[in-house]
A and B are shown apart, each in its own frame.
Chain A
């Protein structure tokens, strides 16, 4: 098994998939490609990618502090890969931000518009500067391969200590300021996490995570390239992390006890379980494991412990970034699979760049080689069969590019088109109106019903000879026969004189197809054969079919449906009703000087106090029987849950 090639293959597959999703996110907007909503405007991308990502990249400043400031020369083999990981981590964070931001092309605005009160402003600046510093710190390594740039490299090497110092200072700021981001939300964040020393907790846990990230990254890359891990150096890191974790634990516990929240840890709510789990994984268990000297030298324990700290601290970031807020917001946000794959995709791309860098530059003391990346050892011509095998340089790359393209295609295929094109509008089924002559139209049952006195409208139309001109999609539907029912009931179902609006306009906010093909073909329905409607010897499609009006001459369609250019769609209930009512009301309100409000929303949509029948006196006088507005019990405002 070729570990390197398979790892890369998986990474390429994920990144192709994520690229497809990212493309859709930019074409269709955030709303339909994520589960983010008005109550949870920050989701997985902020909690994991940005907050977790910055914390995961803490290895860079930790290792440079150990190596350059504390002069521990034995850690030298870990420095370059850790700085590279940090640099790639920060670039990944910036890319996740670009995907998450609503207006990513405005990200540079932070440079010119300043708001120093904002923790995010500070984090933004620090991330920008630190990414640059990391770039300068790492660039001597690739520059080694190009003797032409020796002067630049010497310059960078000369001032490396300055960069390192600046890097540590900047990291201190933004690692802690990521915690400050949430200081302003005591009302949202669960009290177990919320504390005014969040910045300090963030900084300490970032150091612990940084140490463990160096460990994990070293173990993993050595596993992939089948090298012997640097167990002895790593053991020192593992012993160091015990002290950091202990400090973190003590600070956290003292704060919780001082703020009198200790009992909350055991109050049995889901948040308390989450808190205990997080603390166990991130701090307690790894600290105990590494405290035993025998264990800290064991590479299996090193694997387990480092993974636990990484998962635990990242979980802490996710909790603070949103998970521990769900109780207060009353939301049930779970990341959509697209969000998860974008996160995975960004990690994959960063990992691929990391693997590329260690194969091509002197990141490690002994540069590893991918077996496939040695073209001169592969044959390009098979002499026995006399076939050209292709340029081996290219053929080694084809598998990976193919994986990318295929998974990109699969990604494009899997994203539900119905959701992408829905603009987030829910498919609400229309409820039929209730009442007798006066209809109480309340299609979506939101208790803001429209009263429609049918007879009064007929009388008005007869008396005033109104000609309707309804805007119907992009087309106009003119109805002149004002004294016929067809003025409004423009398309009645067979054997019915006046079909109800909701029978075709069956969805509250979305277009629906009203043509029931199966009914027309069924024996119990219209009992038609194919050739009755479709021209024989042509593909049976909408184009080859008869127009509806051939059989139903009384139907009035919009021009685009009539000409067969559009499918048989019915406008959404609201659109249809608004087109019909408002167009007429708007025209009339201009004519009638005494009724300026005729076309305003609230003239028709009203919320009536309980008990009143809500009728204006003028209308009530014309009615023969008393009306009680129907009562609807299923109106539940979500706020009720919060109020108790």
Chain B
């Protein structure tokens, strides 16, 4: 019951219908380049964007909706969470604006309302309101080429592998998002390397939240352990001091 999106880079013509549909559905304003934007097209007003690459390649960038999202695991108040249906959604009423999610995202997706006095985190929510009612997201609905399609993640994976099998040589034999960072709900098929969609190194195939798990699990032990060590140390030192006192007294009495 985990939904996802499959984007086929070879089919995309860069018409931006998805971008424009996204803007309409989420009432996002016109995009103006701001000093804090770092030009992959994503911004607080642009939850999905088209990256143009040499050789007529258009790659749609959007939130990958990781199966085990780093952003949701680090949010101190749980403002971000992975829904059962697959979307990673954001609750602005909980958020306190620490921007840890932006730091932790391996794909560099969340954007911030830097210009607002009451700023929030902005990112694709997989049109959660629509998909929970059985509809599909605005972007896949708008795509005239069926380059980006919506469905069950497991079925999309099957479709992707089938396409690779049926068109030998057309695609790189890899479905981006199948394993990276423990797998993502948004998948890509491509004939060019899509490494640029994430930070270049060390993403790995294991879920990122695992990296902090050991440290976080040992927290109670460290807490109690340190208390025990300190109490023990204190007890030993006190005893020693008492012994020393007693011996001093004995010495004193012996001297007398």
Contact = CB atoms under 8 A, between A and B. Distances in A.
Given A38-B112, A448-B16, A602-B15, A69 B38 contact: no
Given A118-B75, A199-B215, A606-B16, A29 B204 contact: no
A89 to B, nearest CB: 20
B119 A103 contact: yes
B233 A70 contact: yes
Interface stretch (B99-107, B128-136, B149-157, B164-172): B99-107
Nearest to A28: B117
Interface stretch (B3-11, B183-191, B194-202, B245-253): B194-202
Interface in A116-151: 116-122, 124
Contacts of A607: 14-16, 50, 52, 58
Nearest to A419: B35
Given A183-B212, A196-B211, A610 B219 contact: no
- Of the candidates A65, A169, A606, A608, the one having the most CB atoms from chain B within 10 angstroms of its own CB is A169
Interface in B211-253: 211-216, 219, 222-224, 226-227, 230-231, 233-234, 237-238, 241
B219 to A, nearest CB: 6
B34 interface: yes
Contacts of A70: 233-234, 237
A32 B98 CA distance: 18
A226 interface: no
B119 A184 contact: no
Interface residues of B, number: 88
Nearest to A71: B237
Given A69-B230, A113-B94, A444-B33, A180 B212 contact: yes
B1 interface: no
A328 B107 CA distance: 12
Given A122-B216, A607-B50, A639-B40, A102 B97 contact: yes
B2 interface: no
A638 B40 contact: yes
Contacts of B212: 117, 119, 180, 183-184
Nearest to A117: B73
Nearest to A510: B32
Given A115-B75, A425-B34, A29 B215 contact: no
Interface string B117-142: 11110000000000000000000000
A76 to B, nearest CB: 15
A114 B78 contact: yes
Contacts of A170: 223
A331 B202 CA distance: 18
A120 B98 contact: yes
Contacts of B56: 609-610
Given A38-B38, A610-B56, A638-B39, A424 B233 contact: no
A188 B103 contact: yes
Nearest to B181: A187
B84 to A, nearest CB: 18
Contacts of B193: 643
B39 to A, nearest CB: 5
B209 A637 contact: no
Nearest to A194: B202
Interface string B58-92: 10000000000010011111110000000000000
A172 B119 contact: no
Interface stretch (A104-112, A277-285, A484-492): A104-112
B211 A36 contact: no
A605 B16 contact: yes
Q: Which 8 A-B pairs have the closest CB atoms?
A: A102-B97, A31-B114, A37-B36, A187-B199, A424-B34, A121-B76, A41-B99, A103-B97
23 contacts: A26-B117, A29-B114, A29-B116, A41-B99, A71-B237, A103-B119, A106-B77, A110-B77, A113-B79, A114-B77, A115-B76, A117-B213, A124-B76, A176-B215, A183-B212, A184-B74, A186-B204, A422-B35, A425-B34, A574-B32, A607-B16, A607-B58, A637-B52
Interface of A: 26-32, 36-39, 41-42, 65, 68-71, 101-104, 106-107, 109-110, 113-122, 124, 165, 168-170, 172-173, 176-177, 180-181, 183-188, 191, 196, 199, 328-329, 331, 422-426, 428, 444, 447-448, 509, 574, 578, 600-602, 605-610, 635, 637-639, 642-643
